[in-house]
């Protein structure tokens, strides 16, 4: 009996969790724009939380991505009050050092008139575009 209830709860969670993300048009827009794209880290990235005014929390670790390193966006997940971005460092075509960073911007704020512009400003606190026509740096020569 307990096993059946547990299985039902797990299945219910997956059935209700997927439509919530799918119903979030701002999240789909972020996924289309950023997932698979390559950027340059402007700040050390490990357990980083970003808000409207800049970095709220910056935790450092041996596995961090250092400033100047090239990163690829692997995944974006949106919740009610945040956007979580999974990044991997790219060095000589190989991906390593997976980190997750969080942006404190709610679904209501993302879907407001200036919401995506606000998110892009927050993004620019920690990540920069790869200069066009140039090979991205690996970041290892900075340290």
| pTM of the model as a whole | 0.76
Nearest to 27 by CA among 91, 93, 84, 71: 84
Q: pLDDT tens for residues 94-142?
A: 999 999 999 999 999 999 999 999 999 999 999 999 987 655 544 444 3
| pLDDT higher at 138 or 1 | 1
Distance CA 70, CA 131 (A): 11
Nearest to 97 by CA among 139, 44, 46, 142: 46
Q: pLDDT tens for residues 31-69?
A: 999 999 999 999 999 999 999 999 999 999 888 999 999
- pLDDT score of 15: 45
- pLDDT score of 85: 97
- pLDDT score of 142: 39
Chain length of the chain: 143
Other CB atoms within a 10 A radius of the CB of residue 68 amount to 17
Nearest to 90 by CA among 108, 107, 73, 109: 73
Q: pLDDT tens for residues 13-23?
A: 544 444 444 56
CB-based contact 38:70 (threshold 8 Å): yes
Contacts of 47 (CB under 8 A, 6+ apart): 57, 59, 61, 99, 100, 101
Nearest to 86 by CA among 72, 70, 104: 72
- pLDDT score of 93: 87
* pLDDT at 24 exceeding the cut of 60: yes
């Amino acid at each position: 009996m307990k096993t059946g209830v547990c299985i039902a709860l797990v299945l219910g969670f997956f059935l209700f969790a997927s439509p919530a993300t799918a119903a979030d048009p701002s999240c789909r827009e972020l996924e289309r724009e950023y997932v698979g794209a390559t950027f340059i880290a402007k700040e050390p990235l490990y357990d980083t939380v970003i808000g409207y005014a800049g970095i709220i929390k910056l935790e450092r670790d041996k596995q961090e991505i250092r400033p100047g390193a090239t990163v690829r966006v692997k995944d974006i997940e949106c919740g009610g009050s945040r956007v979580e971005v999974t990044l991997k460092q790219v060095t000589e075509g190989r991906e390593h050092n997976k980190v997750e960073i969080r942006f404190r911007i709610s679904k209501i704020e993302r879907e407001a008139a200036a919401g995506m512009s606000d998110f892009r400003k927050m993004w620019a606190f920690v990540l920069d575009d790869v200069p066009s026509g140039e090979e991205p740096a690996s970041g290892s020569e900075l340290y």
